[in-house]
C-alpha cells in the first residue's frame, strides 16, 4: 500500500488541488445512465441523474493529496526562510572582503527563491516573510552587480500577475529604484532585469502606470533604446509599444515630449531587430493623434525617404516581414496622397 501511494502523483500547489477537484467533478458528470429505446413518442419527464457518493478509496486518495500538498507548501516556505537567512546575513565590514564562495551562496539563494516564486502562493508568502522588502532595501543597491540583477529578477518573478504583490512593491518605493537601475546601473544585465521588473509593475497595473508617468518613465525607455545594450534596446522598445497600444490616452503627451523625433533618430542608427517595435510605436503615435501625424510629416525629419529606403532593404527578408508591414503602413498613413512642402505630390 505504501509503495502504491508513493507512486501516485499529487498536485504540487493549491492551483493543482483546484484542478483535481474540477477533474473529479467532471468525471462524475460524465457518467451517463445506459440509454434505452423510447416506448412512446409522447414527451416524458427525465429524472435527474443521481450522483453516487464518493468511494472510500477516492476519499482516502484525495485526503492524501491534500495532506501532501500542504506538507509540500510548508516545505517550500521553510526552504524560502533558509534562503532569506542567507540573504539577511551581516555584510562584511572593515578590511573584511567577501570571498567568491560567499557570493555564490547568495546568488544560489536568489536563484532558488526565483524558482520557488514561479508558484503564486510562494510569491505571496515571500512578501509576507519580508523577502521583497529585503530585496528593495538592501540588494537593488548592492555593490555586487550579480546580486543586484538577481534581486530585480526575483522582484519581477513575484510581481507577475499578482496585483497584491505589485501594490506592496509600489508602496515600499520599488519603482524609483528600478528606473534608476535601468538608467544608470553599470552592470548591463542589471539594467535589463530592472526593466523586466518595471514592466511587471506597470503593465495592467494602473497605480504602477501612474507612478511610471510621474517619474518620466517614457524618457527612461527612450534612453534605454539609445543605450547600445541590445537586450535593453529590445525590451525598452517593446514596452514602449505595449504601453502606447494599451493606453492610447497617453499618446498625445508622449508626442509632446518630442518622442517622434527621437524614435526617428533611433531608426537612423544601424539596423537592429528592435527597430520593428520602434516603427510600431510610430504607427501608434499617428493613430488618432493629429500632433503625431504632423510631426511625422515634417519634411525636416526626412521620414518619408527613410521609410522608403528601409522598405527596400527589408524586401524578401522573411524574418523582417512585420517590420516591413509597419513601414509600409506608416508610409501609407503619413504620405499617401499627402503633398509635402518641399517635394510636391507624393507618387
Confidence at residue 159, expressed as pLDDT on a 0 to 100 scale:
96
Instruction: Give me 272's grid cell.
Output: 537592429
Among the listed residues 82, 80, 172, the one whose alpha carbon sits nearest the alpha carbon of residue 118: 80
According to DSSP, the residues that pair with 340 across neighbouring strands are 344
At 250 the pLDDT is 95
What span, in angstroms and rounded, lies between the C-alpha atoms of 291 and 16? 51
Architecture of domain 114-215: Alpha Horseshoe (1.25)
Q: Which residue has the cell 537601475?
A: 181
pLDDT over 60 (residue 1): no
> What's the pLDDT band for 54 if we cut at 50, 70, 90?
low
How many angstroms separate the CA atoms of 338 and 179, rounded? 40
Q: Which fold has domain 217-340?
A: 1.25.10
10 Å CB burial of residue 153 (0-12, 13-18, 19+) is buried
Q: Exposure of 105 by Cβ count < 10 A (0-12 exposed, 13-18 middle, 19+ buried)? A: middle
pLDDT digits (tens, 9 = 90+) for 119-156: 999 999 999 999 999 999 999 999 999 999 999 999 99
Predicted TM-score of the model (pTM): 0.76
How confident is the model at residue 2, as a pLDDT?
Answer: 45
The label of the residue with cell 527578408 reads 317
For the stretch 201-260, pLDDT in tens is 999 899 999 999 999 999 999 999 999 999 999 999 999 999 999 999 999 999 999 999
Nearest to 17 by CA among 54, 61, 66: 66
CATH code 1.25.10.10 region(s) in the chain:
114-215, 217-340
Q: What is the pLDDT of residue 75?
A: 85
Mean pLDDT over each residue of the chain, to the nearest integer: 84
The confidence band for 55, taking pLDDT boundaries of 50, 70 and 90, is: confident
Task: Report in angstroms the alpha-carbon separations of 19 from 60, 75, 147, 170.
Answer: 18, 21, 37, 32
Helices (H), the chain: 2-6, 14-30, 56-87, 100-116, 120-128, 131-134, 145-159, 163-171, 174-184, 188-202, 206-214, 217-225, 230-246, 251-256, 259-267, 275-286, 290-297, 303-314, 321-335
- The more confidently predicted of residues 82 and 44 is 82
Between CA 24 and CA 322 the distance in angstroms is 45
At residue 318, the 3 state secondary structure works out as helix
Q: What is the DSSP string of 224-243?
A: HHTSS-HHHHHHHHHHHHHH
Amino acid at each position: 500500500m505504501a509503495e502504491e501511494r508513493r507512486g501516485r502523483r499529487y498536485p504540487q500547489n493549491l492551483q493543482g488541488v483546484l484542478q483535481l477537484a474540477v477533474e473529479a467533478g467532471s468525471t462524475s458528470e460524465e457518467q451517463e445512465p445506459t440509454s434505452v429505446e423510447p416506448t412512446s413518442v409522447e414527451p416524458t419527464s427525465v429524472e435527474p441523474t443521481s450522483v453516487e457518493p464518493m468511494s472510500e478509496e477516492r476519499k482516502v486518495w484525495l485526503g492524501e493529496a491534500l495532506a501532501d500538498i500542504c506538507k509540500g507548501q510548508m516545505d517550500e516556505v521553510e526552504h524560502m526562510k533558509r534562503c532569506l537567512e542567507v540573504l539577511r546575513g551581516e555584510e562584511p565590514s572593515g578590511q573584511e572582503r567577501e570571498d567568491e564562495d560567499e557570493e555564490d551562496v547568495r546568488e544560489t539563494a536568489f536563484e532558488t527563491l526565483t524558482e520557488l516564486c514561479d508558484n503564486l502562493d510562494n510569491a505571496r508568502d515571500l512578501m509576507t516573510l519580508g523577502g521583497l522588502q529585503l530585496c528593495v532595501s538592501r540588494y537593488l543597491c548592492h555593490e555586487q552587480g550579480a546580486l543586484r540583477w538577481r534581486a530585480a529578477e526575483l522582484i519581477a518573478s513575484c510581481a507577475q500577475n499578482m496585483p497584491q504583490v505589485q501594490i506592496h512593491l509600489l508602496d515600499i518605493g520599488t519603482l524609483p529604484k528600478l528606473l534608476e537601475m535601468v538608467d544608470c546601473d553599470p552592470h548591463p544585465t542589471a539594467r535589463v532585469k530592472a526593466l523586466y521588473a518595471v514592466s511587471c509593475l506597470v503593465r495592467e497595473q494602473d497605480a504602477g502606470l501612474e507612478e511610471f508617468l510621474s517619474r518620466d518613465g517614457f524618457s527612461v525607455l527612450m534612453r534605454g533604446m539609445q543605450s547600445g545594450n541590445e537586450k535593453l534596446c529590445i525590451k525598452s522598445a517593446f514596452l514602449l509599444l505595449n504601453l502606447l497600444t494599451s493606453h492610447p490616452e497617453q499618446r498625445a503627451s508622449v508626442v509632446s515630449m518630442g518622442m517622434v523625433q527621437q524614435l526617428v533618430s533611433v531608426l537612423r542608427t544601424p539596423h537592429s531587430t528592435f527597430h520593428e517595435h520602434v516603427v510600431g510605436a510610430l504607427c501608434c503615435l499617428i493613430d488618432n493623434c493629429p500632433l503625431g501625424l504632423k510631426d511625422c510629416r515634417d519634411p525636416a525629419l526626412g521620414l518619408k525617404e527613410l521609410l522608403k529606403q528601409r522598405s527596400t532593404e527589408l524586401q524578401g527578408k522573411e524574418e523582417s516581414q512585420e517590420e516591413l508591414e509597419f513601414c509600409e503602413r506608416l508610409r501609407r498613413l503619413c504620405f499617401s496622397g499627402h503633398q509635402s512642402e518641399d517635394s510636391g505630390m507624393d507618387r
